[in-house]
Structure 1
Amino acid sequence: MLETRHGSCHCGQVRFRCTLDLAPQGERSPQLRPGPWYATNLRCTCSYCRKTRIWKAHVPAEAFELLEGAGLGRYRFGSGTIEHCFCRNCGTTTFSRADFEVMGGPFVCVNVARLDDVPFEALDRAPVRLEDGANDDWEAIPAHAGWL
């Protein structure tokens, strides 16, 4: 079910609110946008996700609100099309932002592990799809994924 959730970095200098659905397949609300990115949560093997251990939930930009950004740092690499955000004070990765037409326009990848008000049981049940970002094959399951 779609729910409004709150998230933050470790020290609280970066706080956000978003609307997303962490329920397993068969219990989920209709997607806010079409596409596989909005139908589940993702763990990826690309260089950034591998180093930061981010657990991504895509939400349309209009379903995300930055509540406190005093410590917000931004990082871009490669083509620079994705803005990776983190807290400059505590170093916690919080979310990433981008705008890709194929994904319906502006969106945010919330780091599910930074959500403050999700019960552990809901996190246990949240679906996770693995993606092979290390080989730019986003539809493939990585050959080595046990560590994700």
Structure 2
Amino acid sequence: MNKIIRIIKLLVFSIFLVNCSSDNATPEPEIPDNIRPPYTVKYEIIFPQNAWSSRTTQVSCTYENNGHWYILGEQGTIFWIDNNNLNQGFAKTFTVTVNINPLQLHLSTNYNPSTSSNVTFKIYVNNILVEQATRTMNPYTGVDSFNGTGYSVY
């Protein structure tokens, strides 16, 4: 009888352990700190399906140093996307060579949909997704506004 009780206890304990184990969720990637140049940064924007904008869409990919803003990649420019290319989204990859710690990365757009739409922003460092944000973009109201996300590389 004791043997049966022990087997039942062992079964109950085993079931308890199985139920308490972690779900099969993908673990968050470990983002290394103390990153030094050169390293790659990839900016990505996913616009809604059948995206349309009342104005030409601008994308700003910048970094901040002591309160001054700099554009990564093409010096002094902002990227422009016309309506024909919005559904392809936006992606740019840069090699960072400035030795600034932390480096404040920013990604934003002035996308002007006809109705409120969600836009997803992603920032990768050395091919690791370090920031992802979804923002609701509202129709143009006469004031050009940018919305997006940022990440600090340490």
- Which range, TM-score by smaller chain? under 0.3
- TM normalised by structure 1 equals 0.23
Greater CA radius of gyration, 1 or 2?
A: 2
- TM normalised by structure 2 equals 0.22
